[in-house]
Homo-oligomer: A and B are copies of this chain.
Amino acid sequence: MTATAFEKSRSALQQNDQRVWSLIVTLFGDMAQAENDRISATQLAKITEILGIKPEATRVALHRLRKDGWLISEKSGRNSRYGLSEFGRSQSMAASARIYGETSAKSGDWHVLILPSKPLAARNAMAKPLLENGYKALNNSVLLGQGSAPEQDEFLVLAAGDTPVPDWVSVQVFSKSMAAEITSFSLRLQSAKKTLNTGFTPLETVALRVLIVHHWRRLVLRLPEMPDALQPKNWPEPQCRRLVHELLKQLQRPRLKTL
């Protein structure tokens, strides 16, 4: 028995650690982000099955996603239909620009924020909310932020704009481990690309799209939101992004009712 083109593509793209609930979030974000889009329980069962997910795991994930307020469900005769909740839809839309954008489309502005000379614990406490909001630490008193310098009087804040960026800064913001992850994903995409043909069923197409978008989403949402000027030479993201878009273009999104 030889593997089909779909099976080859799927195995190139499939990760070991994929969480079912997260994969389902990706699916809804990719296929059913409009307000009245619904995916039926039957369709969900088919999609998850073709992705090699057990029915029980799908049930548990759906339960959790409803409980956490990501999904809503409606009865429709003997079938159930699922859709993104208002919360789930807003989260999904917020991430879409970063996932589906053809460029990272980040502002060129950035700034440096210097914490006051206080004991380390106090500085860490000051840095925490900033780090949770996209700031990157250069060391325990210097943070980099995206966009123009905010007005405040607690920190010393310097607009960076066209400031030349030494290599050690780039590498600290755009880490080598992140670069390695992106490069490894690019290799998966290139491998999948070889077996991509146009003969996939709508179900297979959806499954492959979900695998691509899911992995990409997890990478891209962890990327520092920092201007391109801060990227190290040969930062692999732009190339990986082009590949993602190339593959998604080949795997045209099928209409829901064809599933």
Contact = CB atoms under 8 A, between A and B. Distances in A.
A112 B156 CA distance: 10
Interface in A124-153: 138-139, 141-142, 149, 151, 153
A156 B138 contact: yes
Interface stretch (A48-56, A159-167, A176-184, A218-226): A159-167
Contact of A158 (B112, B117, B151, B168): B112
Nearest to A163: B158
How many chain copies? Answer: 2
Contacts of A114: 112, 138, 142
B117 A172 contact: yes
Interface-central residue, A116, A158, A160, A164, by most chain B CB under 10 Å:
A158
Interface in A49-97: none
B168 A163 contact: no
A132 B154 CA distance: 29
A200 interface: no
A169 interface: yes
Given A153-B166, A158-B112, A166-B156, A139 B141 contact: yes
Contacts of A165: 156
Nearest to A137: B117
A164 B150 CA distance: 11
Interface residues of A, number: 26
Given A112-B112, A138-B117, A159 B166 contact: no
Contacts of A167: 153
A158 B160 contact: yes
A13 interface: no
A44 interface: no
Given A112-B114, A114-B138, A149-B163, 18 more contacts: A112-B158, A114-B142, A116-B166, A117-B172, A138-B156, A139-B141, A141-B141, A141-B142, A151-B164, A153-B167, A154-B166, A155-B166, A156-B166, A156-B169, A157-B163, A158-B158, A158-B159, A159-B163
Interface of A: 112, 114, 116-117, 138-139, 141-142, 149, 151, 153-160, 163-169, 172
